Amino acid sequence: MNKDQWERLLKEAREKTPERKPEFTTISGLTLEPSYFGLDAEWPGAYPFTRGIDPILYRSDLWVMGQYSGFGSAEEANQRYRYLLSRGQTGFSIALDLPTQMGFDSDHDMSEGEVGKVGVALNSLEDMQMLLKDIPLQKVRQMRTTANATGPIMAAMFIATMEKDGTDPKDIKILIQNDSLKEFFARGAYIFPPEPSAKLSVDVIEYCSKHLPGWTPLSISGYHIRDSGATAQQEVAFAFANGVAYIEEALKRGLDVDEFAGSFYVFFASHIDLLEEVAKFRAARRLWARLMKERFGAKLDETMKLRIFAYTMGGALTAQQPLNNVARVTIEALAAVLGGVQTLATSSYDEALSIPSEEAVTVALRTQQIIAHESGVTGTVDPLGGSYAIEALTDQSEERMMEYINTVDRMGGAIAAIERGYFQREIGESAYRWQKDVEENKRTVVGVNEFVSDKSEKVPVFRLDPAIEQRQVARLTDLRRRRDNRAVAAALTAVEQAARKGDNTIPSLVEAIKAYATLGEICDVFRDLWGTYQEPAVF
């Protein structure tokens, strides 16, 4: 692409999405161009998209600002979402409690003491209806959920809720994380073995490609890989290896890569090392574009564009001197913006201690807004492009990412790498090296191993009302009494038959949810069919 071609691309982008202001200038009045180029520059919005997937990016529309939030029952989480939306948030991530993530209802023995603790409990259609009550869904730019092993069930809950309430699901922007494979080596919230888990994830991809093309059926997740101790390059490479596995399964079903991959997002951490993180986002875009074009034969630019949801790194926050985390989150959020992400969630300064307080989540949201409206970095695309340091780090990062992907390919793909414990070993070794460096003072963590204060900072800690669990269990008991249990049994049988025959499970899941089958009951059907995964010993 030459300069004339890029200027035509820029003109088309401006006509499609007009810029937010007639002119972008610095505080002193200096004019900011949409982009800046050297002699060998790449072009924002053009293959391989190193410099961004859009030629004007934040000049036309800012990233989606949304916090990862939710706790207790659907009522409490609903109040938090409405509070954040009233403060200027433009999207939100639904945090699920551990029982929901692991496929247990709130009244299961395994759920005791965990209901609503790290997210909201969603057992049934009634819970989802309550969660979304009075939220202007058509105005929210993006709703996301962390469901992975239970991703297809959560997708069915969204669809059933919209249809029950008379809303066309096509009118709502939903992002289902739905990355079950990373659970086996990053978060541990897996249920079924890897192969049927991947099959369920691809059920969502296939269904959305045919019926809900505006939804995001998969957010390939590197964040949890990074938060487990991986390096920046391992984060991207291992996430992409999982993405390759999903794509290959979808292709086996007869889908064309250009029919579905353009709707994917990736979910990356934005860590504290600003220069490396900016380079990571740039390298990831370029590597993904090349994988789509060269490995899978993608023809559409939309398929090759990597859409990034970034979340500031929770693992970088400290319980010691927690107010320091405001500075950490600011740096991490700035790295994501300089790296050109499409969606950003910012951590709260008290997250190392508890569920964030309203004050803390407001500060986290205001951090994004200050970067967007006061820092000046949104006036030009890829402002660090052309920096000798950034370009060198981008090239090095991509090279190392590709080495890891090639290693996984030689093993036979992501599922084989999981079963051999490769990902687990690599991440464990990286986490060990980091921790050793901190303990030996080779890396400074302010307030932890250097600049330690004798006085502890008093930060209010959020406490979850234990009565919430009791109310949730009582509501679930009442639902089982009121519903048509024969209809539930028939619907669960239909789910089992679809899964056993290898059919797409989403239509039967939607009908089961509408009959008020619970998440735990549906997961029990799959447990009976496939069993549960037992992680092998890794040495």
Residue labelled with tokens 């030629």: 55
Q: Which two tokens stand for residue 189?
A: 């919230």
* Per-residue confidence (pLDDT) for residue 539, from 0 to 100: 55
Sign of the alpha-carbon torsion through 524, 169, 204, 421: negative
Query: Could you tell me the mean pLDDT of each successive run of 10 residues in the chain, 539 residues long?
Result: 85 92 94 85 91 96 90 92 91 92 97 94 97 91 92 97 93 94 95 97 98 96 97 98 98 97 98 98 98 98 98 94 96 98 96 90 96 97 96 98 98 96 96 96 95 82 87 97 98 98 98 98 98 80
Please enumerate in sequence order all residues whose Cβ is within 8 A of that of 189, keeping only pairs 6 or more positions apart, or say none.
Answer: 98, 101, 102, 148, 149, 183
How far is CA 480 from each of CA 112, 162, 476, 493, rounded to the nearest angstrom? 19, 22, 6, 17
CA proximity to 164, closest of 133, 136, 140: 133
Q: 476 burial class (0-12, 13-18, 19+ CB within 10 angstroms)? A: buried
- Backbone φ and ψ for 499, nearest 5 degrees, come out as -65, -40
Tell me if 188 sits within 8 A of 195, measured CB to CB.
Answer: no
Question: Distance (Å, rounded) from C-alpha 46 to C-alpha 365?
Answer: 31
Nearest-CA neighbor of 489 among 515, 520, 461, 456? 515
Q: What is the pTM of this model?
A: 0.95
Q: Which domains, from first to last, does the chain contain?
A: 57-415 (3.20.20.240), 470-530 (no CATH)
Kindly list the distances between the CA atom of residue 13 and the CA atoms of 9, 50, 86, 105, 120, in Å, as whole numbers in the listed order.
6, 18, 30, 47, 39
Whole-Å CA distances, 503 to 253, 490, 520? 11, 17, 21
Q: What are phi and psi of 184, to 5 degrees?
A: -75, -15
Taking the C-alpha atoms of residue 371 and residue 364, their distance in angstroms, rounded to an integer, is: 11
Residues 367/372/373/376 CA torsion (nearest 10 deg):
110
84 class by beta-carbon count within 10 Å (0-12 exposed, 13-18 middle, 19+ buried) = buried
pLDDT for position 39: 62
SS (H, E, C) 451-510: CCCCCCCCCCCCCCCCHHHHHHHHHHHHHHHHCCHHHHHHHHHHHHHHHHHCCCCHHHHH
Q: What backbone phi and psi angles, to 5 degrees, belong to 72?
A: 65, -140
CA quadruple 328, 330, 223, 172: dihedral positive or negative? positive
- The pLDDT of residue 6 is 85
Contact 108, 518 (CB under 8 A): no
DSSP E strand stretches across 342-470: 343-345
CA–CA dist 181, 441 (Å, integer): 35
Paired tokens of 53: 């997937």
Give me the sheet containing 343-345, strands edge to edge.
174-176, 142-145, 91-94, 64-69, 343-345, 308-312, 265-270, 219-221
- Rounded to whole angstroms, the Cα distance separating 431 from 433 reads 6
Q: Which two tokens stand for residue 447?
A: 């307030």
What is the distance between the alpha carbons of residues 429 and 539, in angstroms, rounded to a whole number?
Answer: 11
Of 129, 138, 210, the C-alpha closest to 164 is 129
Identify the residue whose tokens are 């993530």.
101
Contacts of 91 (CB under 8 A, 6+ apart): 64, 65, 66, 140, 141, 142, 143, 144, 173, 343
Contacts of 495 (CB under 8 A, 6+ apart): 505, 508, 509, 512, 517, 522, 525
In angstroms, the CA 280 to CA 401 distance is 10
